[in-house]
Structure 1
Amino acid sequence: MEFQHELIIPNEGLPFKLFLFEGRNGNYVREKHWHTSIEIFTVMEGNLSFYINEVEYPLKAGEFLIINSNEVHSIQAPVRNETIVLQIPLKQFTDYFTAQRFIRFHSGNTSQNKTLRFTSEGTEAEQINAGSTENDSRMVFLIRELYRVYVSRETGYEFRARAVFYEILYLMVSTYRVTEVEESELKNSRRLDALSKITTYMREHYKEDLRLSGLAAMFGYSDAYLSRMFRKYAKVNFKTYLQDIRMAYAYKELLNTDHTISFIALDNGFASSRAFSKEFVKRYGILPGKVERQKK
């Protein structure tokens, strides 16, 4: 079982992560990976292909794809494209879980599919309900608008971005959510859900003194079993994963505040500014003090 866990950290001050797909220049392959967050890919220009459970889902301009939580997928982008990626933390849907932190999205008329392709042009009719084209077009428009607002950074953009984002959430739960799930779907998700719960806890408590033994006891595992779980499903050990979380948040704080290096280090769970700087150089090749800050 060769696939990797992806760590997702929301954009500064916002309840989601939004960016242009890194494979926009083409000749790009992203190997099998998974994450707890829900992910929406919306193609503006060009095309790319997703592979989920060995099934190909090609996307072209004007189409979008919803990747569900704990869904192992890979991506191929052979040509240039412009694709907006919206990643939504699973906790945003807490009130709509069907069972065991479980939620799935699809077009409504093919409940056996966990992930479906939608178009804004009415194509792929076998996957779309009659009358759903309006909703699909609305989703594409909202994703475009969210990206436009986020990039413009005009006065009050945070409020507008949140308004558009919550309209996207409303459309997802009112139109594309699966209200009944089969045991087979639950079973496929359970194998990764155990680690998802642990990594979610780590992201929420990364500033604290987290230890493998403490987490193992908290979630009812032995130290050895939890260690194997990280190596098997995250492809890194526990310590590296924790450092990844701390560094991601520390880097954001470094870019967006005028806090001192020492404050940032201690604020994000590092033992000292020296330990933070050493890890920073290892990952980014420069000292944190050399980074150009982008604070408002």
Structure 2
Amino acid sequence: MEYSHEFIMPNDDIPFKMFVFEGKDGNYVREKHWHRSVEIFALFEGELRFFLNEKEYPLKPGEFMLVNSNEIHSIQSPKANRTIVLQIPLVTFENYYTEERFIYFSHSSRLQDEEVMRLIEDMYETYARRDCGYELKVLGQFYLLVYLLVTKYREMEVSMDLVRQNKKLNKLSAITAYMEDHYTKDLSLESLAKIFGYSPTYLSRMFQKYARTNYKTYLDHIRLEYAYKDLVNTSDAIGEIASNNGFANSKAFAKVFKRKYGMLPSEYRKRQAETQVVT
């Protein structure tokens, strides 16, 4: 399989992830990948080329793309652009699933597109300013957006082909969701396989096939994301951060951290502190 799985963590202060697209400067390609979250790419300037299950969807300013949970997609950003991205946890929509814990949003244009674009732009500007009470305003707008999605964009009748295609990746996404909920514990491949009724060998192959990585690397990635937040937002000791986030010890944490950031956690924290003093 020529695609990978992406682990998504919400922003610290809101129950979803919102950011400016990393391909904003152009000359950027994000290869085929999938994730459990529902994703919206709202393009305000420039252009983007989307590919969903091999079909191309070119985006122009004023348009957005809805990416469903477990939908394989890739993005090409040849030119500079201004794009706001929202990644919404699938659990947000749990009261509106159709069957097989399945929900599907249409990519077709709707009358509410302009309202959605205005909402997203205002949400991001409010979030970026961080005025008093900004979380409340952003949350209000977010739930209005969710309302529009489930009432105006949700498909009530979906083909069995779509359901079957979703189920292939939903098996692994259910496992990764469990890992995200229990990453602080001693979570071996064998114990996880037993919980979900698979053999360790089969589960290992599932990760290689659908996530293009091995089980241990994926678990370390989850732990690292949470440990990174503790490193930059708290004064906890390195060993304590490692222990609180499921690493065997500070040495194991440091090894995974250095692989991604090119330095030890202590060095990274020191550099962050020096930067804050300068500014």
Query: TM over 0.5, yes or no?
Result: yes
Other-structure match for 2:140: 163
Q: CA deviation at 1:157?
A: 1.8
Other-structure match for 1:103: 103
Other-structure match for 1:271: 248
Other-structure match for 1:200: 177
AA matched with 1:93: F
Describe the SS at the equivalent of 2:176.
helix
For structure 1, the 5+ residue unaligned runs are 107-115, 119-127
When structure 1 is superposed on structure 2, of 253-262 and 45-54 the one drifting more is 253-262
Other-structure match for 1:147: 124
- How far apart are the structure 1 equivalents of 2:126 and 2:263? 32
Q: CA deviation at 1:146?
A: 1.3
8 Å Cα contact 1:63/1:117 also seen in 2: no
- How far apart are the structure 2 equivalents of 1:151 and 1:205? 32
- How far apart are the structure 2 equivalents of 1:163 and 1:191? 34
Describe the SS at the equivalent of 2:192.
helix
Other-structure match for 1:69: 69
Other-structure match for 2:33: 33
AA matched with 1:16: F
TM-score by length of 1: 0.88
- How far apart are the structure 2 equivalents of 1:256 and 1:168? 30
- How far apart are the structure 2 equivalents of 1:2 and 1:245? 22
Matches within 5 A, 1:177-196: 177-196=154-173
AA matched with 1:170: Y
The alignment status of 1:235 with 2:218, answered yes or no, reads: no
The alignment status of 1:93 with 2:93, answered yes or no, reads: yes
TM-superposition CA deviations, 1:23-55 (whole Å, max 9, x none): 111111111111110000000110011011221
TM-superposition CA deviations, 1:147-190 (whole Å, max 9, x none): 11221122222222211111111111111111222211101111
When structure 1 is superposed on structure 2, of 269-278 and 35-44 the one drifting more is 269-278
The alignment status of 1:57 with 2:24, answered yes or no, reads: no
- How far apart are the structure 2 equivalents of 1:236 and 1:49? 26
TM-superposition CA deviations, 1:274-295 (whole Å, max 9, x none): 221222122111221233168x
Other-structure match for 2:223: 246
- How far apart are the structure 2 equivalents of 1:18 and 1:189? 25
- How far apart are the structure 1 equivalents of 2:229 and 2:72? 27
Describe the SS at the equivalent of 1:57.
strand
- How far apart are the structure 1 equivalents of 2:255 and 2:74? 33
TM-score by length of 2: 0.94
- How far apart are the structure 1 equivalents of 2:32 and 2:120? 25
Find 2:115's aligned residue among 138, 147, 156: 138
Matches within 5 A, 1:212-227: 212-227=189-204
Cα root mean square deviation, aligned: 1.3
* Number of residue pairs the alignment of both structures matches: 271
Other-structure match for 2:20: 20
8 Å Cα contact 1:49/1:59 also seen in 2: yes
TM-superposition CA deviations, 1:123-153 (whole Å, max 9, x none): xxxxx4xxx2xx2111001111111122112
Q: CA deviation at 1:117?
A: 4.9
Describe the SS at the equivalent of 2:171.
helix
- How far apart are the structure 2 equivalents of 1:187 and 1:45? 36
For structure 2, the 5+ residue unaligned runs are none
Regions of 4+ moved over 4 Å = none
